[in-house]
Chains A and B, each alone.
Chain A
Amino acid sequence: MQSVHESVHEATMREQFAATVTELLERDPRTALVLADIGVAQFPEAARAHPDRVVNVGIREQLLIGVAGGLALTGMRPIAHTFASFLIERPFEQLKLDLVHQGVGAVLVSAAGSYDWPAGGRTHMSPGDVALLDTLPGWQVHVPGHPAEADLLLRHAVAADDSLQYVRLSAHQNAEPRPVAPGRFLTVRQGSRTAGVVLAVGPMLDAVLEATETLDVTVLYAATVRPFDAAGLRAALGDRADVVLVEPYLAGTSERAAHLALDGLPHRVLGLGVPVAEHRHYGSIPEHLAAYGLDAAGLHARIAERLW
């Protein structure tokens, strides 16, 4: 059995999630994992060791969130997991009422995101998940770009008292992890005083770096988007406040947060991401990223047009 640290370079984010949460279940008796069939095969040892704290409700996503809320009402720290479509969109009223309105916390961990299984089609795509959570108070949203970042952010999310935490795992990832701190944007490339700023979120970083290699821009990296690090964005500005957001979910999701961060400054914000229109094609992740204009070539064209 590999340790977490030995395995991070090999693992996918979902495999890292299994390793990290198995360890947390072992260590912290407050934690409980709630599943709805998806992901069950990743937790055989934890389910054997902690049958009362690893609960599979079957294909019942309203119950998935209701059970998480009930566990939290008794003082436990629930971690609920399934694909984003079935974790955020399908039981959305349960998020609003069984968690937020009851005044209890939980850690929601999704997989599949916006485009992770393009051959699965629209039913398994959830580009609107972060925008939906923006309609509710209190959620912190983490979008790791690498399994090692997922490990760090999951530990942070579970340990964060009784807060509401969303960790958005993806099969799309960057080649290397970055030294992220929860809630803080990281400067990855420093442009000149006259440069604009590109904020790359989670798995978008590698494509953004490639797209901007020949451009004078400052590149910020966000593995946590809520809270939105307004101070970090303002600190990255040079002589002008021109900002491009590149997000692996619905285009423009963080535009409002960016406008608030830049309040009082003359500024321009361009939000790039997954288009709202249904994209009725199957295929692969790279094909979808190219179609959305989120590959390096597409990003280069749109960023260059905007910032120069």
Chain B
Amino acid sequence: MTSEATRTLGGGYTDLPRLISLMTGDEKHSPAANSTLDALWVLYDRVLDVHPGNVDVPDRDRFLLSKGHGPMAYYAVLAAKGFFPVELLHSFGAYDSPLGHHPDRLLVPGAEIGSGSLGHGLPLAVGTALGLRAQGLGRPAVWVLIGDAEFDEGSNHEAVAFAGAVGLERLHALVIDNSSATHGWSGGIAARFAGEGWSTATVDGRDHEQLYRAFTAPHPGRPHVVVARTEPKHG
């Protein structure tokens, strides 16, 4: 674990807007435009045991970006943490670039899955957690990031119910809730997980300390979800 004061070759939290602007061309881009940015940063900076030195090691932690739309914050964090050179960000979306508008795990160093079509990451994360457990790798955590609108996809609900029923302890979901689901989630998204036996925490998705405490809360015998609420996408 490293503190936010630590600087890698790629950069730190305050460098992220600049890194994102390399992809968007928008010099005034603020972190607030990327709902996933703070949660991603806290995970990669203080929680996950995954770095360029252990990307092929079986007992590394896994982070699966399920919500593959708008991956600029993800690419910026991976570059900041040294998974690939910052210069690569300039090529975002270009023909020969490894950095597409949805990530491809075979092209992006550090990406555990390819995503873009919604509702695939959580089932893949369930299988990943089962696979690690079956191989006696009890330490690594498996994290998957989904969006509140992505949660509409029924495949998520297959995975939430199953993981809760079997108590898949090393599975962690991070739901970025920017109120973008068309029909909303009455009673809150966390209730859907709690009803299936998950440990839950709902926090301010811009508050790094709240995020960190929620990410590291103990949850023996149960999978854990952190719902990170950010400002609404529209308005």
Task: Using CB atoms and an 8 Å cutoff, list the residues of chain A in contact with chain B.
Answer: 29, 32, 52-53, 55, 57-58, 60, 62-63, 65-76, 78, 93-94, 97-98, 101-103
Contacts and interface: CB of A to CB of B under 8 A. Distances in A.
Contact of B127 (A58, A73, A97): A73
B124 A53 contact: no
The 5 A-B pairs at the shortest CB distance, nearest first, are namely A70-B127, A66-B123, A74-B131, A67-B127, A60-B158
Interface in B138-185: 154-155, 158-159, 161-162, 165
Contacts of A32: 130-131, 134
Contacts of B106: 103
B117 A70 contact: no
Given A101-B114, A102-B113, A74 B126 contact: no
Nearest to A91: B155
Interface of B is mostly: helix
A62 B158 contact: yes
Given A66-B123, A68-B127, A71-B128, 17 more contacts: A32-B130, A52-B133, A52-B134, A60-B161, A62-B123, A69-B127, A70-B124, A70-B125, A70-B130, A72-B127, A74-B131, A75-B135, A94-B155, A97-B114, A98-B124, A102-B114, A102-B124
Contacts of A98: 120, 123-124
29 contacts: A32-B130, A52-B134, A57-B162, A58-B165, A60-B161, A62-B119, A62-B123, A62-B158, A63-B123, A63-B126, A66-B122, A66-B127, A67-B126, A67-B127, A69-B123, A70-B126, A70-B129, A70-B131, A72-B127, A73-B112, A74-B58, A74-B128, A93-B117, A97-B120, A98-B124, A101-B104, A102-B105, A102-B113, A103-B106
B132 interface: yes
Contacts of B117: 93, 97
B120 A94 contact: yes
Nearest to A36: B158
Contacts of A75: 58, 131, 135
B130 A63 contact: no
A63 B158 CA distance: 6
B135 A73 contact: no
A75 B60 CA distance: 13
B54 to A, nearest CB: 15
A71 B119 CA distance: 17
B141 to A, nearest CB: 13
For chain B, give the interface size range: 20 to 34
A292 to B, nearest CB: 34
A186 B193 CA distance: 54
Given A74-B132, A102-B113, A69 B158 contact: no
B124 A69 contact: yes
A62 B159 CA distance: 9
A70 B128 contact: yes
B131 A71 contact: yes
Contacts of A97: 114, 117, 120
A38 to B, nearest CB: 16
Nearest to A60: B158
Contacts of B161: 58, 60
Contacts of A53: 134
A75 B62 CA distance: 14
B132 A60 contact: no
Nearest to A50: B134
A53 B134 CA distance: 6
A73 B158 contact: no
A103 B126 CA distance: 18
**Of A62, A72, A78, which is in contact with the most chain B CB atoms at under 10 Å from its CB?**
A62
A63 B171 CA distance: 15
Nearest to B116: A97
